[in-house]
């Protein structure tokens, strides 16, 4: 039982921070826009803490996996007399309403950006360019590269990480490349011709890559950046994560990427626990990735999510009239149902991917 709690705690902390920041974005922009906030709640289940301050009820519930901000006058039905007040959400301009909804995902992006800056300044964890294994019948074996060789340059271009080495080999215009290698205290120059191989990337696309036939070892390096460089690297990483996520979503929708690639709450618990053991910097880096993923997910045009509300606001701006409230409710019900189906699928997916069903059978023998 203690082991289970220890596995879950890092995930609860990370998700609680992400949800709090998301809802804080809605809350702050609502206040700045002059909208009354009736309730700011974090979590679900029995309320542990509840108090009122300046017209807003603040609540913390037992299970910190969710949250909401209840704005005054979100729907006309909130006003029995049918007249909206100046501090109601629906009394605000389309731009203000758009900003209030968009601020949640925006805050998740801001959190990720700040975390990544801290990560790059503290020392970004990367795989060292140290050879862990040699693949048979590839150029590295033929050229005499051995395990524990450290690559320090590719065609006179210095490399500090495995990824830098891989990219340098891939983009080199030379048919034959020269590696500067440290073998113990001795520096050697090794010339070889990379082999072009066809492989399938994470998105199911066939690509051609230049390979020398080496596998990384277990050593990690921590590269520290100055503040200006850290800001630049954080911006590049944020953009890369965003574009890769949208590419993955597109391929999921078009059937070019298997839904088995999706991970749910159980997968997040397993990965977060594993990452937390690697140190606070690695955990911050993973939290930044989750924060961006949460922002992107919330921006999907599903009525139960922020993206659905933004879609209705854009519709109102284009056609000069709001979507019928009853129709919005029906769309929201359909969206909620889709989200529940998706949740069940990813939980089942996690159970298969992490072999949890077999583990449960071992613990409870009567399950067939």
What three-state secondary structure class fits 151?
strand
CA 265 to chain centre: 13
Pairing of strands 186-192, 177-183: antiparallel
What three-state secondary structure class fits 13?
helix
**Which of 285, 264, 267 lies closest to 276 in space, CA to CA?**
285
Please name the residues in contact with 133: beta carbons below 8 A apart, sequence gap of 6 or more: 147, 214, 215, 217
Q: Single out the catalytic residue among 23, 158, 164, 186.
A: 23
Please name the residues in contact with 175: beta carbons below 8 A apart, sequence gap of 6 or more: 193
CA atoms within 13 Å, Cβ hemisphere of 178: 7
Q: Quickly list H helices, 224-324.
A: 227-253, 265-276, 280-298, 306-319
**CA dist., res. 179 & res. 193, Å (int):** 11
Q: How far is CA 46 from CA 38, 42, 61, 67, 70, in A?
A: 19, 11, 6, 13, 18
**CA dist., res. 236 & res. 66, Å (int):** 29
Active-site residue, 23 included: yes
Please name the residues in contact with 282: beta carbons below 8 A apart, sequence gap of 6 or more: 125, 275
**CA dist., res. 299 & res. 107, Å (int):** 13
226, two tokens? 């100055």
Q: What are phi and psi of 356, to 5 degrees?
A: -70, -30
Catalytic site positions? 23
């Amino acid at each position: 039982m203690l082991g289970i709690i220890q596995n879950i705690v890092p995930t609860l902390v990370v998700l609680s921070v992400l949800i709090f920041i998301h809802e804080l974005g809605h809350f702050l922009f609502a206040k700045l826009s002059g909208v009354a906030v009736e309730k700011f709640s974090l979590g679900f289940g029995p309320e542990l803490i509840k108090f009122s301050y300046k017209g807003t009820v603040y609540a913390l519930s037992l299970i910190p996996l969710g949250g909401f901000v209840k704005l005054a006058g979100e729907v006309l039905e909130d006003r029995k007399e049918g007249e909206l007040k100046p501090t109601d959400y629906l009394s605000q301009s389309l731009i203000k309403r758009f900003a209030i909804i968009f601020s949640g995902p925006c805050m998740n992006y801001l959190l990720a950006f700040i975390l990544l800056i801290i990560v790059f300044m503290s020392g970004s964890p990367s795989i060292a360019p140290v050879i862990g294994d040699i693949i048979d019948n590839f150029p590295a074996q033929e050229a005499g590269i051995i395990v524990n060789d450290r690559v320090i340059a590719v065609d006179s271009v210095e490399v500090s990480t495995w990824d830098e080495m891989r990219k340098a080999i891939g983009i080199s215009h030379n048919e034959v490349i020269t590696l500067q290698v440290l073998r113990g205290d001795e520096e050697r120059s090794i010339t070889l011709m990379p082999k072009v191989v066809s492989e399938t990337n994470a998105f199911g696309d066939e690509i051609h890559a230049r390979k020398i036939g080496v596998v990384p070892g277990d050593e990690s390096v921590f590269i520290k950046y100055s503040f200006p460089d850290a800001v630049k690297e954080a911006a590049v990483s944020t953009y890369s994560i965003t574009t890769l996520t949208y590419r993955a979503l597109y391929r999921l929708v078009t059937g070019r990427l298997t839904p088995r690639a999706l991970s749910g709450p159980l997968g997040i618990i397993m990965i977060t626990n594993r990452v937390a053991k690697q140190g606070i910097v690695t955990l911050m880096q993973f939290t930044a990735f989750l924060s961006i993923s949460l922002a992107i997910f919330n921006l999907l045009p599903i009525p139960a999510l922020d993206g659905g509300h933004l879609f209705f606001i854009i519709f109102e701006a284009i056609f000069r009239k709001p979507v019928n409230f009853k129709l919005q409710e029906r769309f929201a019900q359909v969206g909620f149902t889709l989200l529940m189906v998706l949740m069940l699928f990813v939980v089942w997916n996690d159970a298969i991917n992490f072999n949890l069903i077999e583990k449960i059978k071992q613990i409870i023998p009567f399950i067939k």
